[in-house]
Structure 1
Amino acid sequence: MSTLPTTLPAWLALIESRHAVTEINMGLDRVRAVKERMALAFSCPVIMVAGTNGKGSTCAMLESILLRAGYKVGLYIKPHFLDFNERARVNGDLASDEALVASFNVVEAARGDTMLTYFEFTTLAIMHLMANSGLDVAILEVGLGGRLDAVNVIDADVSIVTSVDIDHTDYLGDNREQIGYEKAGIFRSGKPAICSDPVPPKSLIDYAEGIGADLWLMGRDFNYSGDKQQWNYGGRSQRRNSLAYPSLRGANQLLNASAVLAALEALKLELPVGAQEVRTGLVTVELPGRFQVLPGRPTVILDVAHNPHAASALNQNLGNMGYHPYTFAVFGSMHDKDIDGVIKAMSEHVDHWCLATLPSPRSASGSELAAKVQLIQEDRPERTVNIFDDPAQAFANAMSRASENDRIVVFGSFLTVAGVMAARKSALH
């Protein structure tokens, strides 16, 4: 038996090296077996969040409100931008390297000869860390799909599906009915199952009803109304009026916030939350890389929109921002995404494309992206298209060409946004 790593970077390198080939390995039998050997269980309410888009925002709002209410909150969210520790938050703080290493050791000891993917191994470790942190509530974001995601070896007390759209077609299916079925896999019989998609797939409703989950649908069991100043939530037995808009910008945030308040209504006996805590939690919530507008000029927007549904929301948000003479796009994508759909959704606002190859074997090359842009956006005579080896170079080019009244939107894969975040961080030091 070789000695185990003692630092977090060494541990992550080891887990990555074990699974260089199969990044995703669907099925829960292996994870469940290791979970049982670890005796992994939560002694507090668990809220699980799945969906094509809006998962991160929903988790962040839940965390913000529950922290304001004085609860000890654990949050598992992914992927990370700069540091792995971003995936595990306890009471609003990133988990320490030492705590993560200790949990990695526990998973390794329980694993025996069971092979786990990087995602499965790290998910079990973070859930172990949280289950042993004396939490009042745990919020777990589902990675891919739902039914076969490693997080789903835990039974949630409340499950939320935010939106159902086309993404990860290789694993989840190529239509909303198939994908809805996968997302609904996080629902449990007798437990609140909340869906904030205004037009939920029939498969999701059928699945929830088939297992006897307590299904909460937007428009039927809960809803929202609002004007320019404030908004109101109405649930089954709880109204919350005169709420501030969430500090997260964007068109879909009231759908996400309504699902958050439905979850809190469903848990009101276990985790009571006052009106002022809801207001303050919504106003102070932060989430990097989701229509994040950076201070300074030119205006820089970071958004991890990597499918057409998210890109059209981003496009709508750009349209609501006021006048900018030119918009530069720093864009990179994995080649298995609907790249044409993303470019089409964004082409209305983009004048200059800075296209980046990403540091991943799954990346579409800058030249592939350029060919697609040329086909889709032929009608804009002053448009420019440039290709770069990485997001940092693409961003540097955009910064050098943009005037202070222009804007730069960095979007696409997490790796696009992370590359620009890292470049900005090193420039500041």
Structure 2
Amino acid sequence: MNAPSRESDSLVDWLTYLEALHPKTIEMGLDRVNQVRLELGLVPTFPIILVGGTNGKGSVCAMLESILCCAGYQVGCYTSPHLLHYNERVRIDKKEVDDERLCYAFAQINAARENCQTSLTFFEFGTLTAMYLFIKAQVDVAILEVGLGGRLDAVNIFDADCSILTSIDLDHMDYLGDTREKIGFEKAAIFRKNKPAICAEIDLPDSINQQVENIGANFFQFKKAFGFSKKDTQWDFWGPKGWRYSLPLPALRGEKQLQNASTCLAALDALNESLPVSMNDVRQGLTEAVIPGRFQVVSTQPMIILDVAHNPAAASVLSENLVATKLAGYTYAVFAMLQDKDIFGVIQELRNNIDFWLVPSIHTPRAATADYLINEIHKAGISNNKNVIYKFPDCVAAFVFACEQATKNDRICIFGSFYTVGDVLRYLNTLHSK
């Protein structure tokens, strides 16, 4: 397949080309992507914050981005995956980069790749594109979210001035290993010698401590080097630079967000000399940070919740949030997942929080079929004798059914995958645009 022309402004054409460029969606290793980086001469001169971990990465990136923007810095932020549009992945000053600049950058990366006579995966191509655009825009700081693991993830070709590790749980085990020890070793490889390494995980695998010692990072662990104290409507933070009192609760919903916010503030304390922020910046940034699909409430009567939880640890957090916001009525779940995830583990975490399971298929080659998902629901001990499991051709059909059935005291929770949430969010946006 030929690449789009250098002058092409069709983002769809470029994304189609990039998806077909490499035979594998994921290929671990840094040699190919680093070779193209050197060919392009991508040498960032601004501070870089790497954010890794199993869950919570997106929330941490959003809060850091918001606080630093409030402080007046030009911030580049690269996250993945996206919900609706690829442009969501690359932001400068909290604004998505437009199609024209993305396509131009894609052309530059592709020319360098061809000169190197090598291949790049979709994510590797996107990582180089984001950094190319950040350097071209001369941002003051870049926040890069790790895609998978850490040690062999494309963002790890760039040296971090501060690395953040949000959590260590079982996910992507085909690539990272089947134990927390193995996964911790991979994820902690984003740490750098003599640079701050912020870790929000309380239950540390030994491999994390080993990596800290081997690398020589300056390690800050949650509850040991930083933490928080929650009050009714406010909270206090303590960290490397002392206490910050009477902070507003984050705009992002969920009990876990105070831990994520503390992790952000610990990182900003550690970077205080190069990226100082004021208390007002912190307060404003926490209340303005938004991220779609993380316990996102888009309606209250009935309550409609969007959550991309797609592994047992994230499902456990979703379960806690559902308990904390329990309503008098029923909970309808629009539930679909990818085949390579721990589907049974997710169902187990949420089985006591859901009254009706509305199970569609999502249209991607990696998706689990509705029949497979229903079989896993049965395995978890959930019987359809009381008509609590329904099958649908797609997520929108399941969601429309839920809306028809739910009263104002009920709630509808859409979860299991970025694809699941994206399909429903796209439908909601279509309704609002009419």
- TM-score norm. by structure 1 comes to 0.97
Residue in structure 1 matching 2:77, options 75, 78, 88 = 75
Matched, 1:39 2:41: yes
Maintained 8 Å contact 1:252/1:313: yes
Matched, 1:217 2:221: yes
Which residue of structure 2 lines up, in the alignment, with residue 64 of structure 1? Answer: 66
Which residue of structure 2 lines up, in the alignment, with residue 196 of structure 1? Answer: 200
Count residues in correspondence: 428
Note closer, same or farther for the CA distance 1:36–1:385 as it changes in structure 2 (3 Å cut): same
Matched, 1:129 2:118: no
Residue in structure 1 matching 2:92, options 85, 90, 93 = 90
Maintained 8 Å contact 2:295/2:305: yes
Equivalent position amino acid for 1:335 in 2: Q
> Offset of 1:229 from its aligned partner?
2.0
Residues 232-286 of structure 1, C-alpha deviation per residue, up to 9 Å, x if partnerless?
A: 1111233211111111111211111111001100111111101111011111111
Which residue of structure 2 lines up, in the alignment, with residue 353 of structure 1? Answer: 357
SS at 1:129 equivalent: helix
Percent identity among equivalent residues? 47
Residues 72-123 of structure 1, C-alpha deviation per residue, up to 9 Å, x if partnerless?
A: 1111011111111000110111101111111111101111221111111111
- TM-score norm. by structure 2 comes to 0.96
Residue in structure 1 matching 2:164, options 160, 163, 166 = 160
Which residue of structure 1 lines up, in the alignment, with residue 321 of structure 2? Answer: 317
Equivalent position amino acid for 1:396 in 2: V
* Equivalence map 1:221-260=2 (5 Å): 221-260=225-264
Which residue of structure 2 lines up, in the alignment, with residue 287 of structure 1? Answer: 291
Distance across 2 between alignment mates of 1:361 and 1:324: 38
Residue in structure 1 matching 2:20, options 17, 34, 37 = 17
SS at 1:363 equivalent: coil
Residues 154-193 of structure 1, C-alpha deviation per residue, up to 9 Å, x if partnerless?
A: 1110000000100011111111111101110111111111
SS at 2:389 equivalent: strand
Maintained 8 Å contact 2:4/2:14: no
Which residue of structure 2 lines up, in the alignment, with residue 332 of structure 1? Answer: 336
Maintained 8 Å contact 2:91/2:97: yes
Distance across 1 between alignment mates of 2:27 and 2:396: 31
Note closer, same or farther for the CA distance 1:319–1:2 as it changes in structure 2 (3 Å cut): closer
Maintained 8 Å contact 1:197/1:255: no
Which residue of structure 2 lines up, in the alignment, with residue 403 of structure 1? Answer: 407
> Offset of 1:378 from its aligned partner?
3.1
Note closer, same or farther for the CA distance 1:419–1:255 as it changes in structure 2 (3 Å cut): same
Distance across 1 between alignment mates of 2:387 and 2:258: 34
Note closer, same or farther for the CA distance 1:29–1:404 as it changes in structure 2 (3 Å cut): same
Maintained 8 Å contact 1:351/1:382: no
> Offset of 1:379 from its aligned partner?
6.4
Matched, 1:169 2:169: no
Off by >4 Å, runs of 4+ in structure 1? none
SS at 1:243 equivalent: strand
Note closer, same or farther for the CA distance 1:86–1:93 as it changes in structure 2 (3 Å cut): same
* Residue segments in structure 2 that go unaligned for 5+ positions in a row: none
Distance across 2 between alignment mates of 1:54 and 1:33: 31
Note closer, same or farther for the CA distance 1:176–1:3 as it changes in structure 2 (3 Å cut): closer
